[in-house]
Structure 1
Amino acid sequence: MGKEKQYTVLPEGGITTPKGFKAGGLHCGLKKTDRHDLGVIVCDVPAAAAAVYTTNLFQAAPVKVTRDTLSEGGMLRAIVVNSGNANACTGDQGDADARTMQANMAEALGISKNQVAVASTGVIGELLKMDRVNSGIAELPSRVLGDAQGSDDFCQAILTTDLVKKVSCVTLTLDGQQVTIAGAAKGSGMIHPNMATMLGFVTTDAAIGTPLLQELLREVTNVSFNMITVDGDTSTNDMLVAMASGLAGNRELTRNHPDYEAFVQGLRHVCTELAKAIARDGEGATKLIETTVVSAVSDEAAQAIAKTIIGSSLVKSAVYGADANWGRIIAAVGRAGQPVNVGTVDIRLGDIPVLEQSRPVPFDEEMALEYLKTGTIGIHVNLNMGSGTATAWGCDLTYDYVRINAAYRT
């Protein structure tokens, strides 16, 4: 990837900013609160589409429906999403309900059901209240808007224990045409993706074919959503779906396109910002932890070590307690299952060196304490072995995480 940034961040942008996209959301009664719990993204034209899915063997009904749908054509006009119920481990009835959501959304929008994806998030093992879902779907088209309100309503509709919406948007130039890439995601707990996030959605008006979009989505996912963890759990419902309307007017992207790198950078920024937002909003979290590993024997080794560090309950607890206990970090490095020279490891907390050549160095404990009280904590590990690098994101482990999950169903 080139070093010069080739995109511009649009702070006020959202999933309806790319040409051809609208969205909306409403409360249909799946949640006990009055927060939105049903949403839809709609494209004016058939959009090239790609997706990555959970690697959990117990895949929820909507995951199976969307996977089957995209395998048949790779084009979408809409994605319907509910929160408050995962429709996972619900047997044949759950599969039928997901198909019904797809068919009813298609009928309400006047499009083919083979161009509708389905996603769900919430409690596992409970059947959907389909009377409420069906009533909501019938009303959704009247709530679909092509402005910031439509994007906001959709973003609210996909939240569960999330405290904040997760949105990112950039613009860039392809063939002299302005192209926009936007994304929305939800995720706060049960986060340790091995493909994507809890739920993520990317829209763009770039012209790009389904095969290349699928390749790029996997590549970018590996350095963004696959590099976060909150609690080490991979959900039954994780899904990331991308749609490209092609309405920006650029020539169809290929890997040889002169502006290809700009698009990759923009897509990577959107996905990375969403991933970081999920880690920052981890259930009960008070701090974002960003761990960078450099000079590993390979990028893959660096990724494994970085994720082991941020996934360590001991590291997460130490960060919560503002305890500069580098011993927990070096222990995580050593158990990651990757090559490590045990005599050459350097560790910094922010700008504070705590270990050099695998030996402790004196540091100001008060300065470290003050740093560890801030909202974003950087852990930097230099293995002094090779050229492999990676960055992973996580959050601290607090008492509130246990409180939230001890009463999740109630």
Structure 2
Amino acid sequence: MQYKEAEGGICAPKGFAAAGVHCGIRANHSEKYDLALIKADVRCAAAGVYTTNKVCGAPIKVDRAHLTDGYAQAIVVNSGNANTCAANGVALAEECCELVGKALNINAKDVLPSSTGVIGQPMVIDPFARGIPAAAAKLAADAQGSTDAATAIMTTDTHKKEYAIRFELGGKTCTVGAIGKGSGMIAPNMATMLAFYTTDAAVSPALLEKALKTVVPGTYNQMSVDLDTSTNDTLIIMASGLAGNPEITEENADYDAFVAALTAIAEHMCAEHAGDGEGATHLITCEVTHAPDLKTARAVSRSVVCSNLFKAAVFGRDANWGRILCAIGYTPGDFSIDKVCVWLSSKAGEVYVCENAAYHPYSEDEAAKVLAEHDILVKVDMGTGDASAKAWGCDLTYDYVKINGDYRT
């Protein structure tokens, strides 16, 4: 399928507006945007996937309740305080929905709240009471609206993350847009960050949820920064249907095309998150081919990007391929490593470092040049089947410890 990159992030699809404002949730940040609002012109089919952490943020509990009918019209997100383990968390999240409903003249149960930031801190409604009306007044259906919202949800991210693509469905041009945040506490078990998708494709709530849950295992659950699964992981999608395509109500060719488009934008966002990992200087993508089955392909690629030893080696520009083979070897599952071959690749070139689970002669100087680039690709050919998978991670640096050593202070 052909995709065309579009401007405007979450405001690129028809029928969506967004805003970001500063409302004072973080006392030590006097100007940073810390509240985002996304609004649809119409009531949308909606779906979400969330953290599997037993400790989960209060907004997730509210989201699940509000999405029981499969519809929503707005999303409100704050950064700076995760609204997790607060005694009044659920009540506060519900009150935020009431404020959004009043400001936008929509049903409060059609509002989906989300939070990110420090866990276990007290939280009060006052900043939201100021910020939500201000965000509602600032809503814009353009690129600036998306950018402001993407900026407002950032915590330790070094840059905003937004993207949009266009594609064809049923003879109509459809668009999917996304914003996301997440640089640390990323060890996906669906999904370890916040991400918000909008689309103007017409998709029934049941098929929208099915599509989202089809895409997540091979994308967001294949992304890792530090092996910590957050308490507030959330991925929400709203579909306005305003593109005018025949509504997708069954698994047909249009459904497959929609899943492919979601996969494409999710893969882009995963690379954005992993490449901006806390303290990171490299994006590491591991691509496994010729695995015996999909489960093994995904597990092996994930093991490689999660290996702290290999992540540290990439930071040091050391082509220590033995650490890759080690990570493959401790991956759970019944498979052979006898035919495993490994290449390290970047825009600077490619080096063949391992053949049939043994050393393959290569130039250390050439390998160092390959590893000097920001984007590093590890290619693993298992030689035992037809399955393939990708995973995304980053290197492990001194700065990761510095960032997390004083995260609250």
Say whether 1:146 aligns with 2:141.
yes
Say whether 1:270 aligns with 2:269.
no
Report the equivalent of 1:109.
104
CA contact (8 A) 1:197 1:239 kept: yes
CA contact (8 A) 2:291 2:297 kept: yes
1:109, distance to aligned residue in structure 2 (A): 1.1
Amino acid at match of 2:203: I
Larger deviation, residues 195-204 vs 400-409: 195-204
Distance in structure 2 (CA, Å) of the matches to 1:267 and 1:104: 31
1:333, distance to aligned residue in structure 2 (A): 0.4
CA contact (8 A) 1:305 1:338 kept: no
CA contact (8 A) 2:198 2:239 kept: yes
Q: Which one of the candidate residues 59, 62, 75 is aligned to 1:62?
A: 59
Report the equivalent of 1:406.
405
Amino acid at match of 1:281: D
CA contact (8 A) 1:285 1:397 kept: yes
Structure 1 residues 256 and 236: CA distance shift in structure 2, 3 A? closer
Amino acid at match of 2:54: L
Report the equivalent of 2:3.
7
1:293, distance to aligned residue in structure 2 (A): 1.2
Larger deviation, residues 130-139 vs 163-172: 130-139
1:227-246 aligned at under 5 Å gives the runs 227-246=222-241
SS in 1 for 2:174: strand
Q: Deviations over 1:70-89 (max 9, x none)?
A: 02x11111000000000111
- Aligned-residue Cα RMSD (Å) equals 1.2
CA contact (8 A) 2:92 2:124 kept: no
1:12-23 aligned at under 5 Å gives the runs 12-23=7-18
Say whether 1:304 aligns with 2:304.
no
Report the equivalent of 2:85.
89
1:391, distance to aligned residue in structure 2 (A): 0.6
Say whether 1:377 aligns with 2:372.
no
SS in 1 for 2:157: coil
Report the equivalent of 2:214.
219
1:344, distance to aligned residue in structure 2 (A): 1.7
1:71-86 aligned at under 5 Å gives the runs 71=68, 73-86=69-82
1:13, distance to aligned residue in structure 2 (A): 2.8
SS in 2 for 1:319: helix
Distance in structure 2 (CA, Å) of the matches to 1:299 and 1:342: 16
TM-score under structure 2 length normalisation: 0.96
Distance in structure 2 (CA, Å) of the matches to 1:179 and 1:386: 36
SS in 2 for 1:259: helix
1:149-298 aligned at under 5 Å gives the runs 149-298=144-293
1:193, distance to aligned residue in structure 2 (A): 1.4
- Consecutive aligned runs of 4 or more in structure 1 exceeding 3 Å deviation: 254-261
Q: Deviations over 1:170-211 (max 9, x none)?
A: 111222221111111000000011112410001001110000
Q: Deviations over 1:360-386 (max 9, x none)?
A: 111111000111111111111111111
Amino acid at match of 1:238: D
Report the equivalent of 1:27.
22
CA contact (8 A) 2:8 2:144 kept: no
1:129, distance to aligned residue in structure 2 (A): 3.2
CA contact (8 A) 1:61 1:95 kept: yes
TM-score under structure 1 length normalisation: 0.96
Give 5+ residue unaligned stretches, structure 1. Answer: none
Amino acid at match of 2:377: G
Distance in structure 2 (CA, Å) of the matches to 1:206 and 1:162: 30
CA contact (8 A) 2:147 2:162 kept: no
1:256, distance to aligned residue in structure 2 (A): 4.9
SS in 1 for 2:370: helix
Give 5+ residue unaligned stretches, structure 2. Answer: none
Distance in structure 2 (CA, Å) of the matches to 1:187 and 1:165: 10
Aligned length: 403
SS in 1 for 2:272: helix
Distance in structure 2 (CA, Å) of the matches to 1:282 and 1:39: 22
Distance in structure 2 (CA, Å) of the matches to 1:140 and 1:286: 34
Amino acid at match of 1:327: G
Distance in structure 2 (CA, Å) of the matches to 1:197 and 1:265: 22
Structure 1 residues 256 and 312: CA distance shift in structure 2, 3 A? closer
1:218, distance to aligned residue in structure 2 (A): 0.8
Say whether 1:43 aligns with 2:57.
no
Larger deviation, residues 181-190 vs 348-357: 348-357
Distance in structure 2 (CA, Å) of the matches to 1:256 and 1:109: 34
1:323, distance to aligned residue in structure 2 (A): 0.4
Say whether 1:341 aligns with 2:336.
yes
Amino acid at match of 1:57: K
Distance in structure 2 (CA, Å) of the matches to 1:85 and 1:371: 40
Report the equivalent of 1:326.
321
Distance in structure 2 (CA, Å) of the matches to 1:254 and 1:137: 35
CA contact (8 A) 1:82 1:158 kept: yes
1:387, distance to aligned residue in structure 2 (A): 1.5
SS in 2 for 1:39: strand
CA contact (8 A) 1:6 1:262 kept: no
1:254, distance to aligned residue in structure 2 (A): 3.8
Larger deviation, residues 394-403 vs 256-265: 256-265
Q: Deviations over 1:234-260 (max 9, x none)?
A: 000000000000111111014454433
Distance in structure 2 (CA, Å) of the matches to 1:13 and 1:177: 19
Amino acid at match of 1:399: Y
Larger deviation, residues 330-339 vs 234-243: 330-339
Distance in structure 1 (CA, Å) of the matches to 2:293 and 2:39: 41
Amino acid at match of 1:173: E
1:342, distance to aligned residue in structure 2 (A): 3.3
